[in-house]
Chains A and B, each alone.
Chain A
């Protein structure tokens, strides 16, 4: 099946620093990737849609200048949390859509997630 990886799996950083999270589709090409955030005991919340070669589309309430998304190739999207603060501590999960999967029943495949702790 389609595999999506994330790196790092967990990161601890100091308040005010920036953290970059990578999302890779390992065995398929993904024109579209998605970034989610999940706080403890809550469901996943979509943050933004990342499109290869174009600007990301952010969900309402998500600061685009704080959460920088770059989708430079068909297999890599990065999320940079700039000037991180303790309230940014969360589980960040990406997903990718297989470029060649049928549009009608297209399936997203999720990465294993990155746990961010900001001290």
Chain B
């Protein structure tokens, strides 16, 4: 699976949009981009995933560049509860490829 690169930490003001970047320059055509977050002392929480089109759900939006070498997770109106470590993970499609390799992620701190 392709390796991802994320900034180690970011701050965002409460109520503003939080934009978390991820580079995955070696991604291949059948690999999905997944985002999870982990609030302190809890299990990771699934946020969103996508292949090449932009995706949106009730939690966030995922913007994937046309060349698929990078993506941005957008939390539109950050709250204090969004403070967590955010992981960008690339995984091949299909059964038998469910392994998720967690990197170090981005520690997002929402500032009141």
Contacts and interface: CB of A to CB of B under 8 A. Distances in A.
Given A43-B103, A97-B98, A112 B49 contact: no
A109 B46 contact: yes
A108 B46 contact: yes
A93 interface: yes
Interface in B74-112: 87, 93-95, 98-105
Contact of B98 (A6, A106, A113): A106
B99 A49 contact: yes
B99 A105 contact: no
B43 A112 contact: yes
Interface of A: 4, 6, 32, 34, 36, 43-46, 49, 91, 93, 95, 97, 103-113, 115
A43 B43 contact: no
B21 interface: no
B46 A107 contact: yes
21 contacts: A32-B98, A36-B102, A43-B103, A43-B104, A44-B44, A91-B41, A93-B44, A95-B44, A97-B98, A103-B95, A104-B51, A105-B32, A105-B51, A106-B98, A107-B46, A109-B46, A110-B46, A112-B42, A112-B43, A113-B41, A115-B41
Nearest to B44: A110
Q: How large is the interface on B (under 10, 10 to 19, 20 to 34, 35 or more residues)?
A: 20 to 34
Contacts of A111: 43
A6 B41 CA distance: 13
Contacts of A109: 46
Given A43-B105, A107-B34, A110-B45, 16 more contacts: A34-B100, A45-B102, A93-B43, A95-B43, A95-B44, A103-B95, A104-B32, A104-B51, A105-B51, A105-B93, A106-B98, A108-B100, A109-B46, A112-B42, A113-B41, A115-B41
